[in-house]
Each structure stands twice: as structure tokens, then as C-alpha cells.
């Protein structure tokens, strides 16, 4: 979890998995809406300045994803999204056979 677990907006979750390629994850999870940073930095190619201000390295910031949800988001939708994201993230961590 990036940021405070208690002092935060509860409709926004920013998570990091070491070694994750966030851009690759987005392309592999096209049915799940999430981002690599804020809307104001969308398309800039830069890592999140907020995550960098929190003390994350460039690599850590690029291994982070931002998930937003609202009052109409169901637990079932969250669980399904988490399953899809976790499966794709775990696949990135598999050793390359060659």
C-alpha cells in the first residue's frame, strides 16, 4: 500500500508490487479500469510525482497502480478486478524459460 492506511480518501487505492511493470499490467488487464497515476499526469510518460514525493524510487513508482472506486462499486466487482490484476501480476513474476 502506498501512502497511509488510515489517513486517505477511501475511494482511491494505490498499490505497489516490486518488479511489476505497470504499463504491461494495464495492457494485460484491459477489462479492468485502473491507472498508473493521476489523471492530470495521464499520457505524460512520467511516473507519479505524488509517489515520488512520498519517497518512492522511480522503479517503485512505475511498479504501482491506482484503483478508484465509488459508492456503487460492488464487492463482487472489486474481487473480480483484484483476481484479474493479481493473476496478470503473478504471471510477470514467473521465471522466463529458455
- Positions annotated as catalytic residues are 40
Cα dihedral: 30, 82, 70, 2 (round 10): -100
**Cα dihedral across residues 97, 30, 73, 16: positive or negative:** positive
> How many whole angstroms separate alpha carbon 77 and alpha carbon 95?
30
Q: What H or E segment, with its residue span, contains residue 13?
A: strand 12-16
Amino acid at each position: 500500500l502506498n501512502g497511509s492506511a488510515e489517513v486517505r480518501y477511501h475511494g482511491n487505492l494505490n498499490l505497489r508490487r516490486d518488479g511489476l511493470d505497470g504499463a504491461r499490467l494495464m495492457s494485460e488487464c484491459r477489462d479492468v479500469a485502473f491507472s498508473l497515476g493521476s489523471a492530470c499526469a495521464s499520457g505524460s510518460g512520467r511516473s507519479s510525482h505524488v509517489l515520488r514525493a512520498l519517497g518512492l524510487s522511480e522503479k517503485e513508482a512505475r511498479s504501482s497502480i491506482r484503483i478508484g472506486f465509488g459508492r456503487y462499486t460492488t464487492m463482487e466487482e472489486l474481487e473480480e478486478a483484484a483476481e484479474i490484476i493479481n493473476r496478470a501480476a503473478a504471471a510477470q513474476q514467473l521465471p522466463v524459460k529458455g
